[in-house]
Amino acid sequence: MHPDVKKILFSEEDIRNRCREMGREISEAYRDNQHDLLFVGILKGSIPFFAELIKHVDIDVYYDFIAASSYDGTESSGDIKIIKDLDCSVVDRDIILVEDIIDTGLTLKEIKSLLYHKGAHDVKIAALLNKQERRVNDIQADYLGFEIPNEFVIGFGLDFNQKYRNLPYVGVLKDELY
């Protein structure tokens, strides 16, 4: 375990097992689908989860990435700008937006409505983690890895000052590091 980590909440194996279940669920839901299925990963935090999840999806899919940042520098304003747009069109496609964690839900609400505005047929959300306590709107994951309490977590794509994204598990840092 990394020396800065106080405890591990979800091990690499826990995450792989949950992604396998989620991948099966998504495959069954979209197996006879009439529209292209496009996975959209939200950079940068979703990358490890995205990579693990799509390995367990056994139907044909497309994928692309989007990056957003808030105008005022805080993560909770909801006033976001797209800093890397999708390379492909979303018109008439079914989308699964892939996010590391849903906190206030503001980022996903904005990106979801943007995709509908661009002509997506349907937009669903797959998130590794959810902090329900912090939600300020009606955004919910359609496919969820794990529910967590209101605690700051790192690892498996999640950072603290851009560090710890590469840890293969989700954990909590030692108190003195904050």
We find the least distance from the C-beta atom of residue 117 to ligand 5GP, in angstroms, to be 18
CB 135 within 8 A of CB 143: no
Please tell me the count of residues contacting ligand 5GP according to CB under 6 A: 18
Q: How far is the CB of 36 from ligand 5GP (least distance, A)?
A: 25
130: how many CB neighbours lie within 10 A of its CB? Answer: 22
Asked whether position 152 contacts ligand 5GP by CB under 6 A, the answer is yes
Q: Does 100 bind ligand 5GP (CB under 6 A)?
A: yes
User: Do residues 95 and 122 touch, judged by C-beta distance below 8 A?
Assistant: yes
158 is an interface residue for ligand 5GP by CB under 6 A: yes
**Interaction between residue 99 and ligand 5GP (CB under 6 A):** yes
Residue 32 appears among annotated catalytic residues:
no
| 47-55 vs 12-30: helix crossing angle, rounded to 10 | 60
Q: Which of the ranges 12-20, 27-35, 56-64, 150-158 carries the binding residues for ligand 5GP, by CB under 6 A? A: 150-158
Element (H, E) at 27: helix 12-30
Site for ligand 5GP, residues 67 to 86, rule: CB under 6 A: 75-76
Q: Return the active site residues.
A: 103
